[in-house]
Amino acid sequence: MPLYVPQIALALAILLTAATGIWLLINARAVARLFRRSDIIQPGPALGRQTPPPRRLVLAMLAGFTLGWVGSVAIWSWAMTEEAVEVVDARASGA
């Protein structure tokens, strides 16, 4: 495997996490509305007449955020293993 593949995968996972995290922060009322069943989290008053994003979109963003940070942790964990070192050594020696 080329050495840049894990780096690109990590960068994409970080980008996915950052983009979906920012979207979730901007649309925090929609996230609160998604979990409205409990009395602990309540959405604030609406600002203007903006329609809230659909429930499926909020769920997709939550799933993307989770996938991104779990992927980042998995790539970092793999990078610290002996297998990753062997891949680097094999590519450096030309084997």
Helix (H, G, I), strand (E, B), or coil: what is residue 39?
A: coil
Tell me what pLDDT residue 26 has: 93
Which pair of tokens denotes residue 35? 């979990």
Structurally, the chain folds into a number of domains equal to 1
Tell me what pLDDT residue 13 has: 97
Give, for all 95 residues of the chain, the pLDDT tens digit.
Answer: 677 888 899 999 999 999 999 999 999 888 888 887 766 666 667 666 778 899 999 999 999 999 999 999 999 999 888 888 787 766 556 55
- Residue 39's region, left for phi above 0, alpha for psi from -120 to 50, else beta, is alpha
Helix (H, G, I), strand (E, B), or coil: what is residue 50?
A: coil
Tell me what pLDDT residue 47 has: 66
Domain coverage including residue 57: 4-93
pTM above 0.85, yes or no: no
